[in-house]
Structure 1
Amino acid sequence: MDASTDPRPPLSEWILDAYDVLCTHRLMSDDQRGMQSVPREQALDILCRADELALHTEDATYALTRLLERGYFYEVDDELRVTTPEH
């Protein structure tokens, strides 16, 4: 989604890069609802291991927190689910 049409508040570029890494990583799909999700601990692991990010655990935790606060993900039972913004 183009930044000019995205209704979510803007984030730092490195946090958006973390979001892109998580979204392009193979996320589990809930077949009943078509939702993409990832367990929180796995998301942290993905971010810490991503060569293009080079994040420490604290940075990955901060990025996830900001993504949750800004509505890029929502959390259900320690599982992060991708929020699809309305157009």
Structure 2
Amino acid sequence: MARVTDPRPPLPEWILECYDRLCTQACRPDHGEDSVPLVDYEDATDILAADSELALEQRDVEYALTRLLERGYFYEVEDELRITSPDKHC
């Protein structure tokens, strides 16, 4: 069977760095072994906006989160961002 590829261009490196930062936060050991890795949407915006290495403006943070949601890196439940494939990132 032929492999289906995504015709969209890959996400920019800075957006993938945002994803890595948020995965690190979502996969903290204090969340418990059985819990779904997640980060509150508001906390995610605060984490990314406060990261001095990323140096993002608020609009950049919102754009990055939108792109990550659209591409399926996260899915949103109420006001929480959950990692779609936690076994690959935690």
TM-score range, shorter chain: 0.7 to 0.9
Instruction: Specify the code of the residue in structure 1 equivalent to 2:72.
Output: G
Tell me the matched-pair count.
Answer: 80
Q: Runs of 4+ in structure 1 displaced over 4 angstroms?
A: none
Partner of 2:36: 35
Instruction: Show the 5 A alignment for 1:1-87.
Output: 10-25=10-25, 27=27, 29=31, 32=34, 34-84=35-85
The percentage of counterpart residues that share the same residue type is 54
**Structure with more of its chain in helix, by fraction:** 2
After TM superposition, the score normalised by the length of structure 2 is 0.75
What RMSD in Å do the two structures reach over aligned CA positions? 2.6
Larger radius of gyration: 2
Q: Which runs of 5+ in 2 are unaligned?
A: none
1:81 and 1:26 map into 2 onto residues whose CA distance is: 8
1:63 and 1:30 map into 2 onto residues whose CA distance is: 27
**Structure with more of its chain in strand, by fraction:** 1
After TM superposition, the score normalised by the length of structure 1 is 0.77
Q: Which runs of 5+ in 1 are unaligned?
A: 1-6
2:49 and 2:86 map into 1 onto residues whose CA distance is: 26
